[in-house]
Amino acid sequence: MRIGCDLDGVLADLNRAFIAVARRRYPQLDVSTVTAADEVAAAPGVAEDSPEGVTEEVLARPADDLVPVALTRAQMDETWKELCGVTDFWETLEEIEDGAIARLATLAEAQQWEIIFLTSRPGSAGQLVQRQSQRWLDRKGFRWPSVYVVQKSRGRIADALALDVVIDDRPENCLDVALESKARAILVWRGAAASVPASAKRLGIGVVPSVAACLDLLVEADRSATTPVDLVQRLKRLLGLGSRAAAR
């Protein structure tokens, strides 16, 4: 199985670091529904390239387990400027679920999964984003990680790399995958189950509450699958999904 896995919001806790800087710089801000995890796509040097027709519902975010902050565009830019000025900033982040990366590494070896880590991180002082990300993953237990720093649609990338599964925390990235590739998109949604975009299931996007749950599901799906078609069918059953073609 070939798996694409996002970093920030899935494995790495960018939200905590971003919010800490934003609150220190702008202590007067009120809480709102904008979160740091939403703003990777708006970071310096990160381009947006999503399919047309993305709805507000699909772009909704879970906010109940994140600390949201209202920021203007200028404040957002200044916060990013400070973060990206930190030497090797991407190596300073914490893991969201302790031990998840080490478990992923163990399972990848045992199950013979090919893992490609996907990220849209902007550059920071120090080493290249790819090298920082590789060193961070290595320290967390995943040796020799393949990291692909992307700027374009995740769906096109999933198609080009012939991925079977893409794990992401952003609904619009999962939408890209669902519309532009044959890969099965799995959305890691740590907010309330009731706030999951209804469009996710209509488009055949699987939803899990954690990386741990996602890995359990992938192991179960891979247990008796002998072909890519078997794998997709098992994933759909385990995720409670119907035909993606019908969903479209």
Residue 95 lies in a domain: yes
31-88 tens-digit pLDDT: 444 454 455 555 666 644 444 333 333 323 333 344 455 788 898 999 999 999 999 9
Residue 141 located in a structural domain: yes
pLDDT, position 242? 60
**Long-range contact pairs involving 107-113 (C-beta distance under 8 Å, separation at least 24):** 107/215, 107/218, 107/219, 108/3, 108/142, 111/1, 111/218, 111/219, 111/222, 112/1, 113/1, 113/2, 113/3, 113/218, 113/222
Tell me whether residue 37 is in a domain: yes
Report d(CA 10, CA 187) in Å as an integer. 9
Round to whole Å and give the CA distance between 172 and 65. Answer: 19
Residue at 246 is within a domain: no
**What's the pTM value of the predicted model, to 2 decimals?**
0.82
Residue owning tokens 């478990």: 103
Find tokens 């237990």 and name the residue.
Answer: 141
- 116 in a structural domain: yes
Count the domains in the chain: 1
Let me know if residue 247 belongs to a domain: no
- Is 196 part of any domain? yes
Do 183 and 21 contact (CB within 8 A), yes or no?
A: no
Phi, psi of 30 (to 5 degrees): -90, 160
Distance in angstroms (rounded) separating the CA atoms of residues 45 and 57: 26
Residues 79-115 pLDDT 10s: 999 999 999 999 999 999 999 999 999 999 999 999 9
Domain presence at residue 157:
yes
Cβ of 93: how many Cβ atoms within 10 Å?
Answer: 21
Question: Which residue in this structure is represented by tokens 């949201």?
Answer: 68
Range of the domain at 160: 2-241
Read off the CATH number of the domain in which 152 is found. 3.40.50
